[in-house]
Amino acid sequence: MSCVITLDVGTTNTRALLWRDGKKLISERKSETGAAFTAADGNNNRLKAAVRDCINRLLGDGGICEQDVECVLASGMVTSNVGLYEVPHLTAPVGLSDLAAGVRRVSLPDVSPIPFWMIPGMKNRVESITPDNFESMDMMRGEEVEAVALLEEIPAGASCLIILPGSHTKFVAVEEGKLTACLTTLTGELLSALSLQTILADTVERRFTKPETYHGDMLKLGYRIAQKSGLARAAFAARVLKQQAGYSAEQMASYLLGAVLEQDIRAVRNSNALHVDKDTHILISGKDVFCRAFSDVMALQDDFKHVSVFEPKEQRLSAMGALKIYQAVKSVTSLKEEQ
């Protein structure tokens, strides 16, 4: 029996999945512990404990022992300076073979005797950061694995922009099967702060838009007002609509989402981190509401002609990508081992 574990560590959460023969899912475990705990504590003890617990529970679920597992395929913030072992970013352009060649075999005996295969993140190619060019730089850990999982969904030969919405939304440019650049925004965190920690918490009743409460017309209204008057004004105008015109909290949540997304579209258009034109294919993947919202606001523009949405089963993009990298690593003659 050949088993592997895929491990995805984010800022606030950890997800581990046990696979047999690289394709059959046996079990899944999660922990509400991530790299942010390391930053807050000044050590990674809680993250170690969370990963150790997830692995042990997976083994128990599958009724297997540690010797039955070839490796833990680790991606995301686990490879950062606030993770379990820091692996330097690869510099774009980066393809599947580059990620496979960049994997590091690491021993972490205080977490598990199973070898960890650390998948590196990616950073943009910018020489010598200065005040004039720093905005062109960006980096990611974890999203490169998700992007690899989506490469087969891109039309052959097409230039593509992959959008991965989340707390930190990532925009990943793809050319000829390689990830050429990325751009990050604080979309999710900004929306959360506005909805929970400002006067707008009363306006949206501390709610976020859900599939069943999505109001496309209000989303587009928020987008247009932010386009005209800026996010700060558009956000406060949500209070005006609620207090003076009687709109519901659910409508205002969609409105506010639209206003925040306008900033993302503005970044895609104006940032030096990547280049998008009318022929670029847009591929959106992630949570249903964000995918739908991005698709709707992009439909308002003339310069996004090719927009599609890919919905993975149960949001396992990172595992899908990690397994692809695993198969590529298997074809590499040697894997660098570090202690």
Band (pLDDT 50/70/90 cuts) for residue 286 is: confident
From 135, 120, 235, 251, select the one nearest 182 (Cα to Cα).
135
Band (pLDDT 50/70/90 cuts) for residue 213 is: very high
CB atoms within 10 A of CB 272: 15
- Mean pLDDT calculated for residue range 186-194: 94
pLDDT for position 287: 80
Tell me the pLDDT tens digit for each residue of 106-120: 999 999 999 999 999
Look at the block and give the residue holding tokens 């850990």.
141
Mean pLDDT for the chain?
92
pLDDT for position 315: 62
Reduced to 3 states, what is the DSSP secondary structure of residue 140?
strand
Which residues, 6 or more positions from 331, have their beta carbon under 8 angstroms from its beta carbon? 100
pLDDT for position 21: 84
Secondary structure E strands in 250-304: 281-285
pLDDT for position 38: 87
Tell me the pLDDT tens digit for each residue of 14-36: 999 999 987 899 999 999 998 88
Are the CB atoms for 80 and 41 separated by under 8 Å? Answer: no
Tell me the pLDDT tens digit for each residue of 263-281: 999 999 999 999 898 889 9
Give the DSSP per-residue string, 5-20.
Answer: EEEEE-SS-EEEEEEE
pLDDT score of 335 more than 80: no
pLDDT for position 289: 92
Tell me the pLDDT tens digit for each residue of 96-145: 999 999 999 999 999 999 999 999 999 999 989 999 999 999 999 999 99
For the chain, what percent of residues have pLDDT higher than 90? 80
For the chain, what percent of residues have pLDDT higher than 70? 96
Band (pLDDT 50/70/90 cuts) for residue 171 is: very high
Are the CB atoms for 25 and 18 separated by under 8 Å? Answer: yes
Which residue ranges form the domains of the chain, and what is each CATH number? Answer: 3-127+315-338 (3.30.420.40), 157-304 (3.30.420.310)
Tell me the pLDDT tens digit for each residue of 231-251: 999 999 999 999 999 999 999
Are the CB atoms for 169 and 183 separated by under 8 Å? Answer: no
User: Is the alpha carbon torsion for 257, 173, 90, 48 positive or negative?
Assistant: positive
pLDDT for position 225: 98
pLDDT score of 13 more than 60: yes
pLDDT score of 336 more than 60: no
- Mean pLDDT calculated for residue range 173-194: 95
Tell me the pLDDT tens digit for each residue of 296-332: 999 998 888 899 998 876 568 999 999 999 999 987 6
pLDDT for position 303: 83
- Mean pLDDT calculated for residue range 50-73: 94
pLDDT for position 314: 59
Using CA atoms, how far residue 147 sits from 94, 99, 144, in Å, is: 11, 12, 5
Rounded Cα distance between 18 and 27, Å, is 5
Rounded Cα distance between 334 and 316, Å, is 28
Band (pLDDT 50/70/90 cuts) for residue 1 is: low
Secondary structure E strands in 190-311: 281-285, 306-310
